[in-house]
Amino acid sequence: MKKIVTVIGILIITIGGTLMYLSHMNYWPFQGDKVTGVPDGEIKNVRSQPSSDELSMLLAASGEVDYNVKAKTMDVYFDVYKRDTRVRHERVTAQAGEKAAQMNSRFVWGIPGSDMFAPSEIRVIMRNVQESYAQNTFVIPKGIFGKENGDSARTQPFEDGKIKMGEKYILQLWEFNKKYEAGDSNDPFSKEFLKEREQTVILYMVFN
């Protein structure tokens, strides 16, 4: 009898733990209209090539970000810095409402072409669980790329985790004419980081 009770207890704990995990990660049958595999209030850096048909072309850079969060706005910006002075700040796309609301989306972006340092446009798609989506193309202003020597580029250098309102999640970073000196900051938005580069271009996402 004791063995039966023990087995039943183990089964209850196992099933309960499994259901709690499925609920936490928004897997079926708890998904609803949320993105699966992403806990509430979190962002996921999808480290694979986007599969959306709309972006199935030659891409110099691309990425996907999934999120389930309650926020008022989600904005994607394209910033250009000359040393530590921001000389351009443009909105690529946005998701917004009159008040804070649940945002559950797969955000896919891509830069057509083969040269990372000669982009002409950025294509973005926001898709929800019901497969409805919004698509937009941001034309990169002329004169930003091509004048400086491109040193390096980084794609989505952030980790999965809780979304912090106001934090800038980098989608793509370009560095030009970098001074290779010790003590370089790891924060691309810091003055220390920006001063060590002739030009820095940043595509990023921010929630508020």
pLDDT tens digits, one per residue of 31-44: 677 888 788 889 99
- Check residue 161 and give its pLDDT: 95
Provide mean pLDDT across the span 99-104.
Answer: 89
Closest Cα partner for 110 from 128, 92, 94? 92
Return the higher-pLDDT residue of 27 and 114. 114
Residues 45-64: tens digit of each pLDDT: 997 765 545 565 688 899 99
**What gap in Å lies between CA 111 and CA 114, rounded to an integer?**
9
**What gap in Å lies between CA 170 and CA 202, rounded to an integer?**
7
DSSP assignment of 123-147, as one string?
EEEEE-TTS-EEEEEEEPPTTSSSS
Taking CA atoms, 158 is separated from 8, 124, 152, 154, 171, in Å, by 43, 19, 17, 10, 9
**Mean pLDDT, rounded, of the chain:** 85
Q: Which residues on neighbouring strands pair with residue 91, listed in sequence order?
A: 77
pTM: 0.87
Return the higher-pLDDT residue of 88 and 16. 88
DSSP assignment of 144-172, as one string?
SSSSS-EEEEEE----SEEPPTT-EEEEE
